[in-house]
Amino acid sequence: MNNIGIFLDRDGTINEELEFISSPDDVVLIPRSAEAIREANQLGLKVFVITNQSGIARGFIKEEELVKVHNKLVELLNNAGAHLDAIYFCPHHPEFGEPPYKIECDCRKPNSGMLRQAEKEFNIDLKKSFVVGDRIIDVQTAHAVGATGILVLTGYGKNQIEEIQKNNIKIDYIAEDLYDAMQFIKTKIKSNTSNEKNN
Q: What is the DSSP letter of 128?
A: G
Please tell me the total number of residues recorded for the chain in this structure: 199
3-state helix, strand, coil in the chain (%, to 5): 45, 15, 40
Cα dihedral 27/152/36/67 (nearest 10)? -30
Domain encompassing residue 20: 5-198
137-155 core/surface letters (b: 16 or more CB in 10 A; e: else): bbbbbbbbbebbbbbbbbb
Q: What is the pLDDT along the chain (199 residues), one digit of tens a residue?
A: 789 999 999 999 999 999 889 999 999 999 999 999 999 999 999 999 999 999 999 999 999 999 999 999 999 999 999 999 999 999 999 999 999 999 999 999 999 999 999 999 999 999 999 999 999 999 999 999 999 999 999 999 999 999 999 999 999 999 999 999 999 999 999 998 888 777 6
The count of domains in the chain is 1
How far apart (Å, rounded) are the C-alpha atoms in residues 170 and 101?
Answer: 31
pLDDT at 197: 76
Cα dihedral 31/84/77/145 (nearest 10)? -20
User: How does pLDDT run across 75-124, given as a tens digit for each residue?
Assistant: 999 999 999 999 999 999 999 999 999 999 999 999 999 999 999 999 99
Task: Write down the catalytic residue from 9, 85, 138, 180.
Answer: 9
> What's the CATH number where 103 sits?
3.40.50.1000
- Nearest CA-CA partner of 89 in 43, 127, 54: 54
Active site residue 11: yes
Q: What is the DSSP letter of 30?
A: P
58-82 core/surface letters (b: 16 or more CB in 10 A; e: else): bebbeeebbebbbebbbebbeeeeb
Residue 48: CA atoms inside 13 Å, Cβ hemisphere, count?
Answer: 25
Active site residue 9: yes
pLDDT at 107: 98
Asked if residues 146 and 159 have their Cβ atoms less than 8 Å apart, the reply is: no
